[in-house]
């Protein structure tokens, strides 16, 4: 299939969390078009079974492909953990797990990495598997230790808008403390909602622990695919780019949160879709 | 349609919250069969649009009717607020809103009632409308004041199992305090999850405020329908009753939480269904 440089990059998440990834991508690639799909009618994926998550993810990716995209980003850890393929129906697929893991391996000094995620992501051991595999590929055959904690309240706290709030600080402390006790020096924010609570999580972790934001990790990984020509770059001389946001539910909160999270980037339009 | 006394009472919720209603019903009606449907694949309903909630509710009720039930209970406030009908396809429908409202009107001394609910329930003004209507029907044409607060974190706190926890107490305090300042003497727990956090909510409200649990209110309302013969009662001489639980997702947490919430009643079986 020949991919038009004007085709947008399709970004998919169960809801608004993936907008933190979209924000990082719009910042890194100022001339690219983006088509974001939030499956808000069926969120959250984190509490669903692996079979259901995989089925919904395939439906969403198929929907984006039919709208013509030149690359796909699964900006949701629960979905990424159930979709290991690097290609779907001829289009390359980027998940958040491998880029975040690579960045964490670069950052760690003591080979002790913590992961915060939803219950589904933690139970899938997705980060642990990818981290150990990448570490072996890099020739570090031993010594890496990975510790995971499920943090189910972080998503509703982010959606409630209680970022950098005393209650959020307390909850962050409860979730992060077990990782601090394991002496990790790097923590992967293993859910795309979590960067919204980054200030509270950093306070709970302390300044010496590096937090890994999947959005920045995905942006670096896509940069490599542009550089190698796997994805055709849209020329900087192109007309103004578009950031189109689709959601599967009509809720007005999606539009409000989208504008907040994406700023200073401005969405070109919102559309309700059934998938 | 002739209704067999052995037909179960169908109880529907988006997830596990409705189990607090089922618990109250199994306690009040020890000889009745129950068929519970938790639409766990699509929970939570509270953050979805009115149109989507109504569509999902109709699908769930139709599913229960096809399995043969003699009455329907919508044990979910978000769904109840979008389904005012008292009958669906010939089967009588009980929602949580009217029984809870009636009980609150009986309990209040100062005519100031508070409502805690999800964002969808609060935005629908469902309790406010029903409370005012019932109050007028009772001849109290003025003086009733209703104050509502959305408490979006209560559902994930209940599902996290942090009941009567210092963090839950703090969050309850934040949500309940505005109602206390309005000098309400009665608070409707306007989401079927909330009775799981009753201890924390009562602490935040203080002992002088009466909390209204929808489960008990629905049980009283159904009792009246049994008494008047609208629903045929299953004789106490019948064989052992069954409590069958269906869910639309395979997650193991549903089974665990169900057993915890329903105790001492014991589920007869679990079944995964697609609706």
Q: Residue B207 to residues B158, B174, B180: CA-CA distances in angstroms?
A: 21, 17, 12
Average pLDDT, stretch B172-193? Answer: 97
Of A23-32, A33-42, B116-125, B223-232, where does mean pLDDT reach its minimum? B116-125
Chain pair A-B, CB pairs under 8 angstroms: 61
Query: What span, in angstroms and rounded, lies between the C-alpha atoms of A19 and A245?
Result: 10
Q: Is a pLDDT exceeding 90 seen at residue B96?
A: yes
Segment B121-140, tens digit of pLDDT: 898 899 999 999 999 998 87
Q: Mean per-residue pLDDT for A226-237?
A: 94
CB contact under 8 A, B156 and A152: yes
Q: How far is A28 from chain B (nearest CA, A)?
A: 31
Q: What's the count of helices (H) and strands (E) in chain A, helices before strands?
A: 11, 11
In three-state secondary structure terms, B91 is strand
Chain B residues close to A249, C-beta within 8 Å: 48-49, 52
Residues in chain B closer than 8 A to A48 (CB atoms): 40-41, 249, 251
Residue whose C-alpha is closest to residue B219's, from B33, B1, B28? B28
- Tell me, what's the pLDDT at A2? 66
Asked if pLDDT for residue A14 goes beyond 70, the answer is yes
Q: Which residues of B are tagged catalytic?
A: 76, 191
Report which DSSP code applies to B264.
Answer: T
A42: nearest CB among B42, B171, B253: B42
Average pLDDT over residues A73-94: 94
Percent of chain A with pLDDT over 90: 80
Please name the helix (run of DSSP H) or strand (run of DSSP E) that holds residue B2, with its range, or none.
none
Question: Measured between alpha carbons, how far is A176 from A150 in angstroms, rounded to an integer?
Answer: 10
A64-88 average pLDDT score: 94
Average of per-residue pLDDT across A104-121: 94
CB contact under 8 A, A171 and B174: no
B267 neighbors B29 (Cβ within 8 angstroms): no
Per-residue pLDDT band at A212 (split at 50, 70, 90): very high
Which residues, 6+ apart, have CB-to-CB distance to A61 below 8 Å? A10, A12, A72, A74, A88, A89, A93
Q: For this structure, is A191 an active site residue?
A: yes
Q: Using CB atoms, which residue from A47, A170, A174 is nearest to B251?
A: A47
User: Cβ A155–B156 below 8 Å, yes or no?
Assistant: yes
Interface test with B, best of A40, A47, A56, A152 (most B CBs within 10 A): A47
Determine the average pLDDT of the residues in B35-48.
Answer: 87
| Res A153 pLDDT > 60 | yes
Alpha carbon distance A25, A71 (integer Å): 13
pLDDT at residue A1 greater than cutoff 60: no
Distance CA(B219)–CA(A41), nearest Å, equals: 31
ipTM value: 0.80
What is the least distance, in Å, from the CA of B62 to any CA of chain A?
20
Contact between A133 and A99 (Cβ < 8 Å): no
pLDDT the model gives residue A74: 98
Nearest CA in chain A to B49: A251
| Residue pair A130/A97 in contact by the 8 Å Cβ criterion | yes
Asked whether the beta carbons of residue B249 and residue A49 sit closer than 8 angstroms, the reply is yes
pLDDT in tens, B52-86: 899 999 999 999 999 999 999 999 998 998 898 99
Tokens of B100: 């809870």
Question: Cβ separation of A41 and B51 shorter than 8 Å?
Answer: no
Q: Is a pLDDT exceeding 80 seen at residue B1?
A: no
List strands edge to edge, sheet with B269-272: B87-88, B91-95, B71-74, B9-13, B34-38, B243-247, B269-272
Best to test chain B binding among A49, A53, A254 (most B CBs inside 10 Å): A49
Query: How does the average pLDDT of chain A come out, rounded?
Result: 93
Which of the residues B59, B150, B160 would you substitute to probe the A interface, choosing the one with the greatest number of A C-beta atoms within 10 Å? B160
- A69 pLDDT exceeds 80? yes
What average pLDDT does this structure show over B152-177?
Answer: 93
How much is the pTM?
0.84
Backbone φ and ψ for B218, nearest 5 degrees, come out as: -65, -40
* Cross-strand bridge partners of residue B34: B9, B243
Residue A123's pLDDT band, with cuts at 50, 70 and 90, is: confident
Q: Is the pLDDT of residue A70 over 60?
A: yes
pLDDT of residue B141: 64
Average pLDDT over residues A189-217: 96
In this prediction, residue B134 carries a pLDDT of 95
Task: State percent of chain B over pLDDT 90.
Answer: 80
Region A48-58 average pLDDT: 90
Q: Do A152 and B171 touch (CB under 8 A)?
A: no
B239-260 mean pLDDT: 89
Cβ separation of B251 and A152 shorter than 8 Å?
no
Dihedral (Cα; A247, A248, A253, A256), 10-degree rounding: 10
pLDDT bracket for residue B170 (50, 70, 90):
very high
Mean pLDDT of chain B: 93
């Amino acid at each position: 299939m020949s991919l038009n440089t004007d085709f947008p990059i399709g970004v998919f998440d169960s809801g608004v969390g993936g907008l933190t990834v979209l924000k990082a991508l719009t910042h890194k690639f100022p001339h690219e078009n983006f088509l974001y799909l939030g499956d808000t009618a069926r969120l959250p994926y984190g509490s669903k079974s692996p079979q259901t998550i995989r089925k919904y993810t395939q439906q969403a990716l198929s929907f984006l492909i039919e709208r013509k995209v030149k690359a796909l980003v699964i900006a949701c850890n629960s979905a990424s953990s159930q979709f290991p393929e690097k290609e779907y129906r001829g289009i390359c697929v980027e998940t958040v797990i491998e880029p975040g893991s690579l960045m964490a391996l670069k950052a760690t000094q003591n080979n002790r990495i913590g992961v915060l995620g939803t219950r589904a992501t933690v139970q899938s051991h997705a980060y642990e598997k990818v981290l150990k595999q990448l570490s072996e590929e890099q020739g570090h055959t031993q010594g890496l230790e990975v510790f995971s904690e499920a943090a189910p309240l972080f998503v509703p706290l982010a959606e409630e808008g209680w970022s950098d709030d005393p209650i959020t600080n307390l909850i962050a402390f409860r979730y992060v403390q077990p990782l601090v006790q394991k002496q990790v020096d790097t923590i992967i924010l293993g859910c795309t909602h979590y960067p919204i609570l980054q200030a509270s999580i950093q306070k709970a972790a302390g300044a010496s622990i590096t937090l890994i934001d999947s959005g920045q990790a995905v942006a670096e990984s896509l940069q490599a695919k542009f550089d190698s020509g796997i994805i055709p770059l849209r020329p900087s001389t192109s007309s103004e780019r578009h950031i189109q946001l689709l959601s599967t539910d009509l809720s007005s909160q999606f539009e409000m949160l989208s504008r907040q999270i994406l700023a200073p980037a401005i969405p070109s339009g919102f559309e309700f879709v059934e998938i």
